[in-house]
Amino acid sequence: MFEDFTPMPVLLSYLEKLVAFDTRNGVGQELPCANYLESVLKTHGPDRLKVGTVARSRNRADGAYVLAQWGTPHILINVHLDTVPSGQGWSTDPHILTRKGDAVYGLGAADIKGAIACVLACLDARPAKDVAVLFSGDEEQGSEVMEQIIARGDMSSAPMAIICEPTGALPGLRHRGFVSYTQEFTGPGGHSSAADHTPAPVLRGARVACALGDYGDAHKDVGPEGFKGLCMNAGSLQSDGAHNVIPTQAELRMSMRPPPGDDVTLRANQVRNIMTQMGPGAKVTELAQHSAFSCDDIKAFASVLGPLAGQGIDLPYWTEAAMLSEAGKNCIVFGPGHINVAHAPDEFVTLEQLNAALPVYARALSGGFE
């Protein structure tokens, strides 16, 4: 039985090492962390072990991943190893794991290096059987690593997958898709006294933003219960102007989150058409387009989830479960910690949450049975 399966000292030792790696998306390095994970996984005798790198866009360092598998995998456990930037407001060093009472603080503790530490502690406790483990980068900005993992076939042949995110140690069964565009407006610029006769990049961007808002308002009843609406968002409109200067350029950034069951590609095309019609001649660039996610068959996870079976929840955020589901895997999202402390200063995960997640990972790693 797994009720007494609480290797907390070992788990926290792993988490301390993982938090110390700077895997901040955009400024950190993923490969050193992947190499460390390879060295740990190697001690557990996998039948296959591979480290891969992926060239990423926007002048970022190469992304990285490590895949290990034992036997004929029934389940793939996937955890992303990158984090968001640390930002301002931390009361402790974000790369030093700090314990305060029943919680441990550090960048990635909740999202989602705590899950990696759980997996490694479980592997130390008992042999792995018919399972694959994939630690992958670039989840926080673009998912370019997962895209290549799927294209290369480096996700194992397991028909099921657990994608680890902070779900409060409950199985996540559905979430929205995600679409994001940027649009660039230009003009000659000048003194604001000439505004009546000079192209106005900010005003053009604002008109597009208003049109997008109208489109979102017209579709607030789309989607199943719990996921109504498109979550249309005009995130920013920035320029090089001032209150008395006509800008020479402006950039609008928007996002939309279509609900499960909606046609994300159709929505994306409709949004792009609005942007090009309302802002003719302004360059539109797609930043992301990801499908929504719904678990195919939660009953298949009953032996792995144990007493948590039947406690599925909806998630407010996007995950790479959508990509692995599209690639043919029956997925759930599961992990320790809560999303409300992720991406924030003084990110933390409680020991209670880590203990709650351990039995699920232990069952998955040992073939799905107690």
> Which residues are annotated as catalytic?
139
Report cis status (omega within 30 of 0) of the bond before 112.
Answer: yes
Q: 353 near 168, Cβ under 8 Å?
A: yes
Q: 166 near 111, Cβ under 8 Å?
A: yes
- Measured N-to-C along each axis, helices 264-278 and 201-217 cross at an angle, to the nearest 10 degrees, of 140
Q: Of 77, 83, 95, 85, whose CA–CA distance to 135 is shortest?
A: 77
Sequence-distant (6+) residues with CB within 8 A of 106 are 15, 16, 19, 92, 94, 95, 96, 97, 98, 113, 347, 348
For 78, phi then psi, to 5°, come to -115, 130
d(CA 357, CA 361): 7
Q: Cβ-count burial of 174 within 10 angstroms (0-12 exposed, 13-18 middle, 19+ buried)?
A: buried
- Within 43-102, where are the H helices? none
Q: 45 near 71, Cβ under 8 Å?
A: no
d(CA 130, CA 367): 6
Q: 131-136 and 160-164: which strand pairing?
A: unpaired
d(CA 175, CA 114): 22
d(CA 298, CA 59): 40
d(CA 293, CA 358): 24
d(CA 130, CA 186): 57
d(CA 23, CA 63): 10
Strands (E), the chain: 48-54, 63-70, 75-80, 98-100, 103-105, 131-136, 160-164, 172-175, 178-186, 190-191, 233-239, 245-246, 249-256, 283-290, 293-294, 313-314, 330-333, 348-350
